[in-house]
Amino acid sequence: MSKISSIYDAIPTAVEAVLTGYKRMPNAYEPEKCPTTILEKGYGVTMGPAENPSKDQSLQLQVRRQFAVIMSRILPGDLDAAAQQTIEKALLEDQLLVIRTFERGALSSLAPICRYFSDGGITYLDVGEGGGRYLLLANVFALQYAENLQA
């Protein structure tokens, strides 16, 4: 199995270890299509672009890849400013838990470098009639690993 497959499997395990009560989105690339029961307190993982940071021509491919951990929380129907601020702060607190787990080496046996890169800010998602309203936060990480080209 390639290194990226192992990393792909390890990311949700690391996230689930720190985000209690969250359910994994079946399609984090299109959260609006996910079941609302998952979006109430959900997370998903998306794989982003990659590049080869090395000019080395050896049989080790160096890969720097981005991935995102997307978190969602439901907005209740009778929302006031204080309630929304509480939900936003909960997302930010959970974000810190996820950042800590990767910055402290949750993937270190697979990817020696894994750093928090950025987020897109808290965004609003309205799924439409009866679907609910949600806040989302996508946390982008950059990791670096090597793949063996001799396989």
Q: How far is CA 93 from the centre of its chain?
A: 14
Q: What is the mean pLDDT of residues 64-89?
A: 91
DSSP letter string over 137-148? EEEEEEEEEEEE
List CB contacts of 79: < 8 A, sequence separation 6 or more: 133
Q: Percent of the chain, pLDDT > 70?
A: 99
pTM greater than 0.75 (yes/no): yes
Residue 63 CB: number of other CB atoms within 10 A?
A: 19
CATH of domain 3-148: 3.30.2000.10
List CB contacts of 27: < 8 A, sequence separation 6 or more: 33, 34, 44
Residue 127 is predicted with a pLDDT of 86
Q: How far apart are CA 122 and CA 141, in angstroms?
A: 16
